[in-house]
Structure 1
Amino acid sequence: MKLLENTIDRIESLDEEMMSKARERVDNLVKPSKSLGKLEDIAVQLVGITRKINPVIDKKAVIVMAADHGVYEEGISSNPQEVTFAQTLLFPKGLTGVCAIGKVSGANIVAIDIGVKGEIPDDAGVIKRKIKHGTDNMTKGPAMTREEAIQSLEVGIEIVNQETKKGIHLLGTGEMGIGNTTASTAILSVLGNCDPLEITGRGAGVGRGGIEHKVEVIRRAISINKPNPADAIDVLAKIGGLEIGGMAGVMLGAAANRIPVVVDGYISTVAAIIAASIEPKAKEYFIVSHASAEPGARMASDLLGIEPMLNMGMCLGEGSGAALAFPIVEAAGSVIKHMATFDEVGLTI
């Protein structure tokens, strides 16, 4: 709890003076006004985050949190739960979707076992920070204790602190966990004050009961646990997931260390809502990568209040959208660093 509190205390708003200087420079670059659109906004945001007019963001990593869910027992997925374990082992081998995209964008993929069911081998290349072997079945009581939820947030913070010492400049969030769209949709239903039917999708593959059964399971979990929408940690503990807490912790840790963090798709956006609910200033450090194809993604983005950059019809997770968006963020930094102003080239407008 102390690490979480200290991290929250360290989160400051972006540097408005530096952002004003950045906006002035961007507005005077050799181009028509506003012609680079969102790139200009990201460039200004990067300056505000880093407090450097020429932000350096060439060292990148996607932190992938992996965990299982007790609600799997309710038949909400067509995939074997063992997929979480098997897929987690593939991240260090570079064989997953985010790894393939990360090779193009030059991102390191950091896999964390925060709650995978089973024992990951010590030599697998996965960072072992397991809190428990998956959450408890949230249709029968809380998914985890409040202490475990806080611990998941602090694992994310600790990983960011370690990456910061390695000189990381740009972070992305990713996850792996069969059943985590169920937990994410439950969280969004509570924080967005809507019926699960409006936002429930197939995830990685819905169980034989279909969407209707998945909706009923989510409704039951909310009814039994009665999470407090005014307390994001209570919501996380009662109907969330360890990897969702871990990602929210990564976002809080990134903000505390003044590092921009690229949010992946649906599940990552729900984690971002948790993080921003815990400390609203953290949201100033977020860059949302893409609009997930999951039905709840639009509501999640609206609730977070940040428009995604890309619409690729993707819903893989893993941090794949974050890795894909990294070059766009780098391009924004390059614009403010390498483009000349009209004054610098002797032109007047």
Structure 2
Amino acid sequence: MTYSIQSVSTQFDQEIQATIDGKTKPLGALGQLEVVAKQLARVQATSTNKVDRLVIKKPQLIVFAGDHGVASEGVSIAPSEVTGQMVANFAQGGAAINVFCRQLGWQLSVVDAGILIAPEKELQVINQRLGTTTAPLHKTQAMPLEKVTQGFAKANQLIKQVKDKGSNLVAFGEMGIGNTTSASAIMAAIMQVCAKDTVGKGTGVTDEVVLKKQQVVEQALVLHKEKLSDPIQVLACLGGFEIVQITGAMLAAAQENMHILVDGFICTAAALVAIQINPTVKDYMIFAHCSGEKGHIKMLEWLEVEPLLNIGLRLGEGTGAALALPLIQASAAFYNEMASFEQADVADVV
């Protein structure tokens, strides 16, 4: 599947930078907020052909859930059944991501991308099931290629609906017991590093389990070695149903000229794949935070990106992305509302 993603406009770079530099502050004094403001302006200029005012409209956070066959190998602190239990918790408003979305003004959606037991019908969960669970990635392909295609198609449709409702900023969260193992394998495959450099404690497993995770990832990399130069095959061999749909959703959001706020370790693994499929998608991405998961900082360094937050989060669910929203809004607000030296009749400090 191909995505037609516009290259982000640099036509107004001089004007954007002059606006930022002309505010009543020393050059660069707002740090990463200035970087974010410029990125927001570039993306919005791509679709509007002007940069007079930045707008963040109806920010939408989508949590995708999927179960992983590799969870049966004892690579997590919890059984796969917890995925479905947490999906119900999301739908009933009781999880951390619900609290943060209510506090900060996100619209939240929960997607069943493929969990063991489908949610009760009365729960507000979007059905985009690709199956009940992936296959163990160290024994066979996690899923057939057609499941990746189906997942992308479902993600595309969902993003179009979000865009049609007026949103221009989207973030993704995930839930899936065993998905740090899948993300570690994806990281190792794309960055061409060994398993011990990618596997961490996830949600808090023992050193013995970390070693087991490393062995599983190493086995998967050897088993699928001949296919891992193709990012679509990486998803089929090593991915999860939720990781597939997050990857597709990122590409679809960029195709719709939307801002993408990237969460932690699992979502950054999806971003790695999306960038391999179409490198232009990276220009639409803002990286929310550096998680406490071992491999995440290495991913961010490899991508040469600077996260907005580093507060030791390792929960997933999209919590890091949710918490970064006020910084995105602050970037737009200073660009729009802060006086220039000329307007304020202040001597330019440059």
Q: CA deviation at 1:218?
A: 1.1
Could you give the per-residue CA deviations for residues 204-230 of structure 1, whole angstroms, max 9, x where no partner exists? 243794211111111112212225343
Answer whether contact 2:67 2:116 (CA < 8 A) is retained: yes
Structure 2 residue aligned with 1:263: 262
Looking at structure 1, the residues matched to 122 and 271 of structure 2 have their Cα atoms a distance apart, in angstroms, of 31
Looking at structure 2, the residues matched to 200 and 292 of structure 1 have their Cα atoms a distance apart, in angstroms, of 13
- The 5-angstrom pairing of residues 40-59 of structure 1 reads 40-51=34-45, 52-59=51-58
Q: Which aligned segments of 4 or more residues in structure 1 are displaced greater than 3 angstroms? A: 205-209
- The 5-angstrom pairing of residues 25-40 of structure 1 reads 25-40=19-34
Structure 2 residue aligned with 1:79: 78
Percent identity (aligned): 34
Answer whether contact 2:104 2:325 (CA < 8 A) is retained: yes
Structure 2 residue aligned with 1:168: 167
Distance 1:207 1:243, change over 3 A: farther
Looking at structure 2, the residues matched to 267 and 227 of structure 1 have their Cα atoms a distance apart, in angstroms, of 24
For structure 2, the residue ranges without an aligned partner over 5 or more in a row are: 46-50
Letter in 1 for 2:21: D
Looking at structure 1, the residues matched to 315 and 82 of structure 2 have their Cα atoms a distance apart, in angstroms, of 14
Answer whether contact 1:12 1:256 (CA < 8 A) is retained: yes
Could you give the per-residue CA deviations for residues 49-105 of structure 1, whole angstroms, max 9, x where no partner exists? 112431211411111110000111212112021110010112122211111111221
RMSD over aligned CA atoms reads 1.5
- Paired positions, count: 343
Looking at structure 2, the residues matched to 268 and 105 of structure 1 have their Cα atoms a distance apart, in angstroms, of 20
Answer whether contact 2:40 2:54 (CA < 8 A) is retained: yes
Structure 1 residue aligned with 2:10: 16
Looking at structure 1, the residues matched to 22 and 208 of structure 2 have their Cα atoms a distance apart, in angstroms, of 58
Answer whether contact 1:77 1:207 (CA < 8 A) is retained: no
Tell whether 2:331 aligns with 1:337.
no
Structure 2 residue aligned with 1:131: 130
Answer whether contact 2:12 2:42 (CA < 8 A) is retained: yes
Looking at structure 1, the residues matched to 118 and 128 of structure 2 have their Cα atoms a distance apart, in angstroms, of 11
Looking at structure 2, the residues matched to 269 and 344 of structure 1 have their Cα atoms a distance apart, in angstroms, of 41
Structure 2 length normalisation: TM-score?
0.94
Q: CA deviation at 1:338?
A: 0.4
Q: CA deviation at 1:277?
A: 0.7
Letter in 2 for 1:273: L
Looking at structure 2, the residues matched to 334 and 227 of structure 1 have their Cα atoms a distance apart, in angstroms, of 49
Could you give the per-residue CA deviations for residues 29-59 of structure 1, whole angstroms, max 9, x where no partner exists? 1111111111111111111111243121141
Q: CA deviation at 1:304?
A: 2.3
Letter in 2 for 1:77: S
Q: CA deviation at 1:158?
A: 1.8
- The 5-angstrom pairing of residues 182-261 of structure 1 reads 182-206=181-205, 209-226=208-225, 228-261=227-260
Structure 1 residue aligned with 2:60: 61
* Further displaced range: 308-317 or 192-201: 192-201
- The 5-angstrom pairing of residues 82-93 of structure 1 reads 82-93=81-92
For structure 1, the residue ranges without an aligned partner over 5 or more in a row are: none
